[in-house]
Chains A and B, each alone.
Chain A
Amino acid sequence: MPHTQHPIELLRFNTCGSVDDGKSTLIGRLLYDSKSLMEDQVEALEKSADITGGGQINLANLTDGLRAEREQGITIDVAYRYFATPKRKFIVADTPGHVQYTRNMVTGASTANLSIVLVDARQGVIEQTRRHTFIAAMLGIPHLVIAINKMDLVDWKQERFQEIRDEIEDFLPKLDVFRDVKFIPISALNGDNVVDASKHTPWYEGPPLLAHLESVHIASDWNLNAFRFPVQWVNRPNDPTDQTLHDFRGISGQIASGIIRKGQQVAVLPGCIKTTIKDIWTYDGSLNEAFCPQSVTICLEHDIDISRGDMIVGLEQLPGMASDLHARICWMSIRPLQAGKKYFLKYGPQTVQAVVTQVEGRINMETLDLEAGPTEFRANDIGVIRLKTAKPIIYDGYTTNRLTGSFILIEQGTNATVAAGMLFPPTEAVKPEYTDFAI
C-alpha cells in the first residue's frame, strides 16, 4: 500500500446483490489486483483452498471471516475491508444478499458514499436488485454503480448488458435521486473491468470499476448547509487551581451539517435561546470557523442551561420540533412491529420513548409501490409509519440531512436495535419566541 504525504480522500462504499452474484469475489478481486493483499493472507487462502476448494483459490474466503460463513459458503454479516491506492483510501462494507439480512445491508450502506449493486448477467434484474437499489436510494447514498457481473457467461454480449441497463433505468425514476449512476460490465472472477480494462468489451467506453471509485466526485457529499450541532457532552473542567479553567464551560459534539463561525448568532433548542458563538475550542487550538463533520467544543457568550441531547442551530433554515412523527422505516427484528407498541427512539445523542401510532403502508419490492393495509411489519419490511414521542424531538427531513433526520428504534427489555428510521420533512419549522439569553 503506497502512502502519500498529500491529503488523500476517503471513499466508503458497499457492495450488494443477490446470493452468488459474486460480491465477495469482487472485493477479493479489488484487493488482489490492487496488490492490497499480504502474503500470509494469500497463504491462508491457498491453505483453505486445498481443504475446501478442491485446489482453486476462493477470493470470497477473504471477506467471509466467520466459521459458519466459510462452512456454508455465504456471508452472514457485514464485513469491513480496507485498501488504498495512490489516489484514495477505501472502506468497503461487504453486505450480504440473503433477503433475511437486509438489515445488514442497511447497516453497511448507511455510512457509504457509494453503493455497488451487482447483477448476474445471466439472471438479469431480480427482486434483490430492486430491493438493494431501492434501499441505497432511500438511504440517500449519492453515488450508485450497477456492476453487471459474469459477463463472460453471456459471451460479453453488449445487447445483454443494454437489456439489463434499460430495465434498471425503467425503475430508477421511482426512487429517490442518486447524484450519479454508472453501469459497468465486469467479470469479478476473471478480473475484467475491475482494476484493468477488459479486452472483451470494446463497446464499453467507460472506466473500469476501480478507476471510477478513484475519481467519482465526493467532496460535496457532506452537508454544508444549515448549521446543526447536536450536544453530546458538556465540558466542565471545574479546576479550582486555574481560574480560566474554573470558568470554562464548553459544549462538545460533532457538527452534523453546515459551517459555524466565531461571533455567529445561534439558537439553542429546545429552549429557543439566542446567543453568540464565543469560541470554537479544540485540542489543537481555537478555530475561527468549523464545518461538518468536525468534532469541536463550542463556548457560548451566555451561560445557558444546556445538556446532552439539546441542539445548537443556525438562525436560518430552522429544524422542525414535534412529537408526532412521520417516517419510513426498515424493520430489522424477528418480532414484528405492531401499532401501539412502545420503543426507545434514539436520534443523535438523545433517547426518548415512542409509541407506534399507525402503520401506514409497506413497500412492495416487485413494484416499489407503497401498499396500504398491513397491520404489522416483519423482519426486512420497509414501510411508512407514524409515531408519537414522549417529548418533542428536534429534527430535519432525512432527504435534507442524513444525520438529523434519522433515528433507530430500540426494543424495551432486550435493548435490541429493531428499526432504522428516516423522517419525512417537518410540516413546519420551529417558531422560536426567542428569549435573548435567559439566566
Chain B
Amino acid sequence: MSSYHLDHLQYLETEAIHIMREVAGEFERPALLFSGGKDSICLLRLAEKAFRPADIPMPFLNVETGHEFPELISFRDSRAKELGAKLIVRTVDEAIAKGHATPAPGEISRNKLQIPVLLGAIEEFQFDCAIGGARRDEEKARAKERFFSFRDSFGQWDPKAQRPEIWNLYNARVNPGENMRVFPLSNWTEMDVWQYIKREQLAVPTIYFSHERECFRRGGQWIPVPPPHTDLTKPDLYAGARPKPNEPIKKLVVRVRTIADMISTGMMESPADSIDDIIGEVAAARVTERGSRADDKASEAAMEDRKKAGYF
C-alpha cells in the first residue's frame, strides 16, 4: 500500500470528522448525545479531533431512564468534566412528574419514555440538531437511516421520505421547529468501535469488563439484580424488575456488550477483562450486539416503530 493511503479506521474517522464539522458549520444550536456508552465515547474523541484546539462547540445531552448503571453515570460525568463540556441531563422521572410522559400500565421498561424526554429537551433548548452514536449495523431499520436524518416538528422519522444523500453533500436545512439527527458513526461496525477505542486508548466504563454480579434469568437473558429499595418513602423504582421467587439469583462473572439500562440489558457471561479480550470476543461472536437487548425483541419492527416516534 502506498503511503498516501488510509486504512479502514482512518477512513471512517475522516468521514465522521467531516460530518461533525458540517454540523458545526450548518446548525445554530446543535447538541451531542452522550450517554457514556462505547459509541458515544468514540463520538467525543471524534469531536475532539474535529474541533481542537478550540472548545467543542456544542453541549452534551443525556436522557436518563432512572434505571442506569451507576458506573455509567459517574463515567459520563467525569468524562464531560475532563473535556470542559457543558452536560445537560434530563430524566424520565422529571418528565413523569411534570406530566410530559406517562408510563403505559404494567410496562416496567422506560425505554419508550425516553422519547418525550428527548423531544422535550430539544424544545427546551431549541436544539436544531442532535448528534448521536447510532450505527447502521446495529439493526435492520437503522441500516436504512441517513447520516443527516430529518425529523419533523413532532420529532418523527419518515423512512419513506428520507432525503437522498449523495456524495458527501449533506442537506442540513430545517425549518423552525424541525430538527436533524446526525449519526457520524453510521458506517461503523461494533468491531470498528472497539478497534478505535483500542487505537485511541480510550477509557470505557468498568461494566464493559468482566466482573462479578448478581443476576437472574428472565426472557432468556441474565438480568442484573437492581440496587435495593432503601428509601421506603418513595415508590420502588424497580418494581416489577426485581427477581421473583421462581427466578433464583446467581452470582456470575459477566460484562455488558451493549448498554441500555439495568432492566433491559442482558449481561453476558465473559472473562474478558481487557480491550483485546473484548475484540477477540466480538470477532468470535455468534449473536449480534442487540441480540442481548430485550427492547428490540418485541417484534421484528420494534426499532422501526420507536424510530418513527422520535427515538434516538
Whether, in the assembled complex, A65 has its beta carbon less than 8 Å from a beta carbon of chain B, the answer is yes
Chain B residue contacts of A415, Cβ below 8 A: 171, 173-175
Q: When each residue 59-101 of chain A gets 1 if its CB lies under 8 Å from chain B and 0 otherwise, what string results?
A: 0001111111010000011111110100001010000000000
B8 touches A8 (CB 8 A): yes
Looking at the complex, which one of A103, A295, A347 makes contact with B14 (CB distance below 8 Å)?
A295
A110 at the interface (CB under 8 A from B): yes
Contact A332 B25 (CB under 8 A): no
Contact present for B18 and A232 (CB under 8 Å)? yes
A424 close to B (CB within 8 Å): no
CB of A58 closer than 8 Å to a CB of B = no
Would B160 and A68 count as touching, CB distance under 8 A? yes
The residues of A that contact B143 with a CB separation of less than 8 Å are: 63, 65, 79-81
- B residues 7-61 touching A (CB-CB < 8 Å): 7-8, 10-15, 17-18, 21-22, 24-25, 48-55
A41 closest partner in B (C-beta): B288
Say whether B71 faces chain A, with CB atoms less than 8 Å apart: no
Q: Which of A7, A65, A70 contacts B1 (CB 8 A)?
A: A7
A248 touches B53 (CB 8 A): yes
Which of B17, B141, B169, B186 meets A65, CB within 8 Å?
A: B141
In the complex, chain A residues whose CB is within 8 Å of the CB of B11: 10, 293
The stretch of A168-176, A199-207, A262-270, A399-407 in contact with B is A399-407
> In whole angstroms, what is the CA distance A308 to B300 when docked?
44
Binds B, one of A124-132, A233-241, A319-327: A233-241
A403 touches B168 (CB 8 A): yes
Q: How far is the CB of A416 from chain B (nearest CB, A)?
A: 7
Q: Does B301 contact A (CB under 8 A)?
A: yes
Identify which of B124-132, B187-195, B203-211, B224-232 touches chain A. B187-195
Q: Is A80 a contact of B186 with CB atoms below 8 Å?
A: yes
**Interface residues on chain A, size class:** 35 or more
**A213 CB, nearest partner CB in chain B, Å:** 14
Task: Contact check, A9 vs B169: say whether CB atoms are below 8 A apart.
Answer: no
| Contact bitstring B54-90, A, C-beta under 8 A = 1, else 0 | 1100000000000000000000000000000000000
B25 and A232 form a contact (CB under 8 A): yes
- How far apart are A248's CB and chain B's nearest CB, in angstroms? 6
Which A209-256 residues have C-beta < 8 A from chain B?
Answer: 219, 222, 224, 232-233, 235-239, 245, 248, 250, 252-254
Contact B164 A38 (CB under 8 A): no
Known contacts A66-B144, A237-B54, A415-B174; is-contact A9 B288 (Cβ 8 Å): no
Assembled-state Cα–Cα distance A68/B102 (Å):
29
A335 to chain B, nearest CB (A): 13
A84 to B175, CA, bound (A): 40
**In the complex with contacts A8-B8, A40-B291, A235-B53 CB distance below 8 A:** yes
Q: Are B195 and A3 in contact (CB under 8 A)?
A: yes
Contact of A233 among B10, B25, B48 (CB under 8 A): B25
User: How far apart are the CA atoms of A233 and B25 in the complex, in Å?
Assistant: 6
Is B97 at the interface (CB under 8 A from chain A)?
A: no
Range, interface on chain B = 35 or more
A364 to chain B: closest CB distance in Å? 23
CA distance A403 to B166 in the complex (A): 10
Chain B residues with Cβ under 8 A from A104's Cβ? Answer: 164
B140 on the A face (CB < 8 A): yes
B164 touches A332 (CB 8 A): yes
Q: Which residues of A contact B24 (CB under 8 A)?
A: 232-233
Pair A1/B162 contact, Cβ less than 8 Å: no
With an 8 A cutoff between CB atoms, is B159 at the interface? yes
| B246 beta carbon closer than 8 Å to chain A | no
Contact A293 B53 (CB under 8 A): no
B93 within 8 A of A: no
Cα distance, A40 to B138, chains bound together (Å): 12
Inter-chain contact B287/A103, CB cutoff 8 Å:
no
Determine whether the beta carbon of A219 is less than 8 Å from that of B173.
no
Contact A82-B195, Cβ < 8 Å, known A110-B166, A248-B53, A295-B21: no
User: In this complex, what residue of A is CB-closest to B178?
Assistant: A415
With CB as the reference atom, state the residue of chain A lying closest to B289: A38
- Which residue of the partner chain A has the closest CB to B148? A417
Beta-carbon contact of A293 and B14 below 8 Å = yes
Contact with B49, one of A3, A222, A283 (Cβ below 8 angstroms): A283
- Interchain CB contact under 8 A, A91 and B169: no
- A408 to B166, Cβ gap below 8 A? yes
Docked complex: B132-179 residues within 8 A CB-CB of A: 136-137, 139-144, 159-160, 162-169, 171, 173-175
Task: Tell me the bound Cα distance from A104 to B304 in angstroms.
Answer: 19
Looking at B55, B139, B144, B173, the one whose CB has the most chain A CB atoms below 10 A away is: B144
Contact of A154 with B by CB under 8 A:
no
Q: Are B8 and A235 touching (Cβ within 8 A)?
A: no
Q: Does B286 sit at the interface, judged by CB under 8 A? A: yes
B279/A7 in contact, CB under 8 A? no
Give bound CA distance, A432 to B51, whole Å: 32
Contact residues in B for A377 (Cβ distance below 8 Å): none
Q: Check if A219 sits within 8 Å of B1, measured CB to CB.
A: yes
Contact check, A308 vs B136: say whether CB atoms are below 8 A apart. no
Indicate if A119 sits at the interface (CB-CB under 8 A): no
Distance from A34 Cβ to chain B, minimum over Cβ atoms (Å) = 14
Contacts A44-B300, A106-B166 given: A236-B279 contact, CB under 8 Å?
no
A-B pairs with beta carbons under 8 Å apart, 26 shown: A1-B282, A1-B283, A3-B283, A10-B8, A38-B291, A39-B286, A39-B287, A62-B140, A65-B143, A65-B304, A66-B301, A67-B300, A79-B140, A80-B143, A91-B187, A224-B4, A236-B54, A283-B52, A284-B49, A295-B49, A346-B171, A403-B168, A406-B166, A406-B167, A417-B163, A417-B171
Which 9 A-B residue pairs are closest in the complex by CB-CB distance?
A65-B140, A7-B7, A40-B291, A295-B17, A10-B8, A415-B173, A232-B21, A283-B49, A237-B54
Query: Which residue numbers of B lie inside 8 Å of A, CB to CB?
Result: 1-2, 4-8, 10-15, 17-18, 21-22, 24-25, 48-55, 136-137, 139-144, 159-160, 162-169, 171, 173-175, 186-187, 189, 191, 195, 279, 282-283, 285-288, 291, 300-301, 304
Q: Given A1-B191, A239-B53, A245-B53, 14 more contacts at CB 8 Å?
A: A2-B283, A9-B8, A10-B8, A63-B143, A65-B139, A77-B144, A78-B144, A103-B164, A104-B164, A110-B167, A219-B2, A254-B17, A259-B4, A295-B49
